[in-house]
Amino acid sequence: MLRGIAACKHGVSFKKIGRRISEHAEKHGFGVVEQFVGHGVGRVFHSQPIIYHQRNNMPGQMVEGQTFTIEPILTMGSSSIECDMWEDGWTAVTTDGSLAAQFEHTILITRTGAEILTKC
């Protein structure tokens, strides 16, 4: 996640986030669950842009003042692993039982980089 955040600043393509996260995860033997994405935060909480955490070809560039989440789920399995949702509508588990973990930050794009808004 932090590798993806480090790529963020005004004028940079959104797809760079996913590339950085994927490269780092794969280097350490992890996969990135593809069915979950980050999202914009504005007047509506889950809004545009959609932030992919794996390699992708989605168009669009970050703009100063924009806020969004980066929240990859890494798994000890491959990136092609699917997740099932439990009846509570919140809990997700990998279909093959692989261990997984999710991390999340909300960031603000600045001219020179990104400010992490969810830092304690």
CA distance 78 to 32: 7
CA distance 38 to 68: 7
Q: Write down the H helix ranges in 69-111.
A: none
CA distance 116 to 119: 6
pTM exceeds 0.85 for this model: yes
Domains and CATH numbers, the chain: 2-116 (3.90.230.10)
Q: Which amino acid is at 58?
A: M
Asked whether the predicted pLDDT for residue 52 surpasses 90, the reply is: yes
Q: What is the token pair recorded at 21?
A: 């996260």
Q: Which amino acid is at 28?
A: H
20 Cβ contact list (under 8 Å, min separation 6): 3, 4, 6, 7
CA distance 44 to 38: 14
| 69-115 pLDDT, tens digit each | 999 999 997 777 788 889 998 888 888 888 999 999 999 999 999 99
Q: Which amino acid is at 67?
A: T
